[in-house]
Amino acid sequence: MTYTLKQAADLLAAGKTSAVELASDYLARIEGAQGALNAFITVDRELTLAMARKADASRAAGNAGLLTGVPIAHKDIFCAEGWKTTCGSKMLEHFVSPYDAGVVERCTAAGLVTLGRTNMDEFAMGSSNENSAYGAVRNPWDRDAVPGGSSGGSAAAVAARLAPAATATDTGGSIRQPAAFCGVTGLKPTYGVVSRYGMVAYASSLDQGGPIAQTAEDCALMLNVMAGHDVRDSTSLEMAKEDYSRDLNQPLKGLRIGMPREYFGAGLAADVAAAIESALAEYRKLGAEVVEISLPRTELAIPAYYVIAPAEASSNLSRFDGVRYGHRAAEYTDLNDMYEKSRAEGFGWEVKRRILTGAYVLSHGYYDAYYLKAQKVRRLLSEDFQAGFGQCDVIAAPAAPTVAWNLGEKGDDPIAMYLADIYTLGVNLAGLPGIAHPVGFGANGRPVGLQLIGNYFSEARLLNAAHQFQQATDWHTRAPAL
């Protein structure tokens, strides 16, 4: 038997199950599905059950919180004390973190039980979860398809009911796109709402942690735990604590949903468009109004992102040099040779490609021509969104131009992979929140997700809209057969 996060919490509160029983049931499901899906990199039964026993003891002592004893999974990019933190890379194959990331620390303090570490594109670089050094993750709805990336392991685990919820990260769509591909709900918060401390950096001005779960309600409960100021993260925002579930049951009458004409033209697959049109019709029934808007510089998001993100990655990943931690080549002649061999052996091809691209755009003679220009474009994209929000409350968009593609289909064409991020990148460049939730199925029975984009700090409004949709439909309740 599997549950949503809220259902599991209610069962524990009522004494109808224990944290150990829940954890044991989910560990058995993970063991049965791991060979087919490869959704996890690390599972440690003893560590998990020790956490579950501690949670049960807290409940017995009357010290339990709302989510004490509920099992979740963590993306393998969040450092967790005593757990391997590989970031999907051979570079960190044997690294066991000596401390907890801010997100993990908050989850542990809330009594959540860690089931394991989910698979991901190496250092969060990818849109398909095929770039992991530990093998590709398979989509639970169709095992010939990708689950999306880079948080594909988290999305696949939740979709296959291997965990009620999972942490994830979003640098250019890596929560929303895999959530859409796997038929679950994923929330990317406003930049700075969730601490990046202990979240291994890809592109520091774009990375943001968030939850993936079956429902918007579960995402709200997860964000209540994950969000909050962290003095150890200089980009963490100081703001009053929010209850992100506070508006879930508010009616949608009067909500203005903007449809950017640039998002619904050429390039959007017919099956995806049809599912989204049907979803917007449902939103109209719920009282929302759909208005056309324009985001005229949308097409500039891809080139801007693929200058800025690799530039930041080339700097962030310079720390992996074989000296202090991570992979070190077995044989080398001098320090430079050790650097070169360790990085050549430890990094995969996509990571190397982005490091080289980033080093190039930051090099003398190209910094002004590429990096500074991309930052100016970033500002223009943010201005477009603000102009759009002058006409609407939230913006509707596809999460991706197509349903999940086949494993290996885009492997030889990285540009085609990058182009698939057209609808998600602008949100990260502007630092805005966005949510993706399931709205139907397209070609080959593969899920379709609708993305809703909000203005800064409007997570509660996005969660309200998605929750009301899910109260009126059953797409989020459908699960693939294992």
Is position 23 within any domain? yes
Catalytic choice (6, 75, 341, 410): 75
- Cβ–Cβ < 8 Å for 458, 394: yes
Catalytic choice (18, 132, 174, 245): 174
Is position 109 within any domain? yes
| Helix, strand, coil percentages for the chain (3-state, nearest 5) | 45, 15, 45
Helix axes 459-472, 216-226, angle to 10 degrees: 150
Which phi and psi (to 5°) does residue 270 adopt? -60, -40
Is position 124 within any domain? yes
Q: What is the 3-state secondary structure (H, E, C) of 276-328?
A: HHHHHHHHHHCCCEEEEECCCCHHHHHHHHHHHHHHHHHHHHHHCCCCCCCCC
Q: 19 is in which domain, residue-wise?
A: 5-253
Is position 417 within any domain? no
* 376 catalytic residue (yes or no): no
Is position 367 within any domain? no
Q: What is the secondary structure of 137-155 as a DSSP string?
A: --BTTBTTB---SSSHHHH
Q: Walk along the chain (482 residues) and give the pLDDT tens digit of each residue.
A: 789 999 999 999 999 999 999 999 999 999 999 999 999 999 999 999 999 999 999 999 999 999 999 999 999 999 999 999 999 999 999 999 999 999 999 999 999 999 999 999 999 999 999 999 999 999 999 999 999 999 999 999 999 999 999 999 999 999 999 999 999 999 999 999 999 999 999 999 999 999 999 999 999 999 999 999 999 999 999 999 999 999 999 999 999 999 999 999 889 999 999 999 999 999 999 999 999 999 999 999 999 999 999 999 999 999 999 998 899 999 999 999 999 999 999 999 999 999 999 999 999 889 999 999 999 999 999 999 999 999 999 999 999 999 999 999 998 888 888 999 999 999 999 999 999 999 999 999 999 999 999 999 999 999 999 999 999 999 999 999 98
- Cβ–Cβ < 8 Å for 388, 294: yes
Q: Helix (H, G, I), strand (E, B), or coil: what is residue 334?
A: coil
CA 301, CA 344: separation in Å to the nearest integer?
30
Peptide linkage before 150 cis (omega within 30 of 0): yes
Report the candidate in 321, 99, 309 with the shortest Cα–Cα distance to residue 201.
309
CA 178, CA 151: separation in Å to the nearest integer?
6
Strand partners, 304: none
Is position 156 within any domain? yes
Token pair 């970031």 in the structure block, residue:
87
Question: CB neighbours (10 Å) of residue 296?
Answer: 14
Distances (CA, A) of 140 to 30, 89, 256, 411: 13, 23, 34, 20
The number of distinct structural domains making up the chain is 1
CA 177, CA 402: separation in Å to the nearest integer?
10
CATH number, position 116 = 3.90.1300.10
Task: Report how far apart the first and last C-alpha atoms of the chain are (Å, whole number).
Answer: 13
Catalytic choice (150, 154, 342, 458): 150
Is position 478 within any domain? no
* 97 catalytic residue (yes or no): no
Is position 321 within any domain? no
Which pLDDT belongs to residue 414? Answer: 85
- Cβ–Cβ < 8 Å for 180, 148: yes
CA 340, CA 321: separation in Å to the nearest integer?
8
Q: Determine the residue type at 478.
A: R
Helix axes 216-226, 102-109, angle to 10 degrees: 110
CA 49, CA 92: separation in Å to the nearest integer?
25
Give the length of the chain.
482
* 75 catalytic residue (yes or no): yes
